[in-house]
Amino acid sequence: MLFSVEEVVNVTGGKLLLGEPEGYFNGVIIDSRQAKGKELFFPLQGEKENGHRYVLNALRNGASGSLLEERYLNAFNLETFPEKKAVIVVNDSLRCLQELAFYHRNKFSLPFIAVTGSNGKTTTKDLISSVLSMRYNVLKTEGNLNNHIGLPLMLLNIKKEHRVAVVEMGMSAPGEISLLASLAKPSLGVITNIGEAHLGLLGSRENIARAKGELLDVMGAEGKAFLNGDDYYLRRMGKEFRGETFYYGFHEGVDLRSLNSTGCEFGSRFTVLLPDGKVEDFQIPLLGGHNVYNALAAIALGLEFSLEIEEIKERLSKSSVTGMRMEIKLSKRGCWVINDSYNANPTSMKVALQSLKEAAGKERAIAVLGDMLELGAVEEQEHFKVGEYCAALNIDYLITVGNLGSVIARGARSAGLPSFRIIAADSHREALDYLFSLPQKGSFILIKGSRGMRMEIIAEELLA
């Protein structure tokens, strides 16, 4: 993107303190280390750091200018600023980032697809993008840029060559999806499911559904919603939606239905009943029925954009997704490592365990599970239930990490999983030592836990 200094001043309502209005910026950064030349630096307040500490660093590293919140103005000696750099004084840097992103987004008329949900939104976003890129130049959310800071940064990356945008929207509190949707102005929205993610912050699935439903509220009667028709909350949401609704799922009464799903060495194969009544076979390089749901959303969007079925099949079969989400790799020790360590909640934990059992078949199934965070008052209860589920599936070996992980172990033991097949480890190292003591050839090992548990350390060691 290219913004003049004067343009930024007008959009943000700021005041040019230093520099010339005729100057310009060819990018936006929030990390002073990313300055390469001609960028505009936004000093944001984080949990641990205040970006105003790095304003001078950004300018000296090559940025052409920086915003500066008025409340911090007295902390700077203007004589120390590099010459010919623009400094724009504003009230709120974050709000200005969002305003500039909204301004830039409105320069383009390309269709926006917003993807949200408790589980699977990143994978769904990746699969939709993969399918649509068969014909279109697609802008898609990178990494985890799906919040009140990340989404504006993505919007500022829109270029004239883009023909469609697929953006992910995350949230942890009411009102956040509403803000993101208001900035991106999507005409198409996908909601994958309503689960227990952020249960501790929002209190109930009812509240989670209400927060996710903000996407449909913003889209209004002109929008089209693609919803998981097997989810009770989304069914109800679809009935109340003023726009057009398209359901996908495994059960009857949906517009796009998977008739079956089987795991294979490649990933998953499944048969789909299309809206026109035809039946087609698909495959994806991902394990688990939950990923078939994600693929159904991608098929639905492919049809919406008039792609041929063979095109959709080809893109799905060759698609790749953001890391640490049911990634399966064969280790040099001969075991299959399923790295699903990006995050965890009760719903995704049970789905991953089910996928582990399906993938393992008659081979040894080993689950290495860490704490699930942000569950609030129900954390012990939910961890205990996951342990009971491990016992119900008859997981061959269960290894837990962390204080809450030990509650999973206790739940499994109480539900009848033999104690000699369970270990509650205090650290990654202890879990690895136990893993290395087991016969590994042919085994399937699931690694999963919340982001804060850094369970990928175990997966990386197993694959080293």
Tell me the Ramachandran region of residue 203: left when phi exceeds 0, alpha when psi lies from -120 to 50, beta otherwise.
Answer: left
Backbone phi and psi for residue 92, each to the nearest 5 degrees, phi listed first:
-145, 110
DSSP 186-224: -SEEEE----STTHHHH-SHHHHHHHHTHHHHHHGGG-E
* CB burial of residue 113 (10 Å; 0-12, 13-18, 19+): buried
Tell me the pLDDT of the chain (464 aa) as tens digits. 789 999 999 999 999 999 999 899 999 999 999 998 899 999 999 888 999 999 999 999 999 999 999 999 999 988 889 989 999 999 999 999 999 999 999 999 999 999 999 999 999 999 999 999 999 999 999 988 999 999 999 999 999 999 999 999 999 899 999 999 999 999 999 999 998 776 777 889 999 999 999 999 999 999 999 999 999 999 999 999 999 999 999 999 999 999 999 877 668 999 999 999 999 999 999 988 899 999 999 999 999 999 999 999 999 999 988 888 888 899 999 999 999 999 999 999 999 999 999 889 899 999 999 999 989 899 999 999 999 999 999 999 999 999 999 999 999 999 999 999 999 999 999 999 999 999 889 999 999 999 999 999 999 999 98
DSSP 259-300: EEEEE-SSSEEEEEE-TTS-EEEEEESS-SHHHHHHHHHHHH
Q: DSSP character for 144?
A: T
d(CA 414, CA 422): 11
Query: In this predicted structure, what is the pLDDT of residue 265?
Result: 65
Q: Which helix (H) or strand (E) holds 422?
A: strand 422-425
The structure tokens listed for 39 are 């960028």
CA dihedral sign of residues 403, 406, 408, 411:
negative
Q: Where do we find the tokens 């991608």?
A: 298
Query: In this predicted structure, what is the pLDDT of residue 457?
Result: 97
Query: In this predicted structure, what is the pLDDT of residue 327?
Result: 86
DSSP 61-88: HT-SEEEEEGGGGGG--GGGSPTT-EEE
**Rg of the Cα trace of the chain?**
24
Q: Which helix (H) or strand (E) holds 351?
A: helix 346-360
3-class SS at 419?
A: helix
Spell out the domains of the chain, with CATH numbers in brackets. Answer: 3-91 (3.40.1390.10), 108-317 (3.40.1190.10), 327-463 (3.90.190.20)
Count of CB atoms within 10 A of residue 399's CB? 27
The residues, any chain, with a CB within 8 Å of residue 47's CB and separated by 6 or more, are: none
3-class SS at 303?
A: helix
Query: In this predicted structure, what is the pLDDT of residue 232?
Result: 96
d(CA 247, CA 297): 9
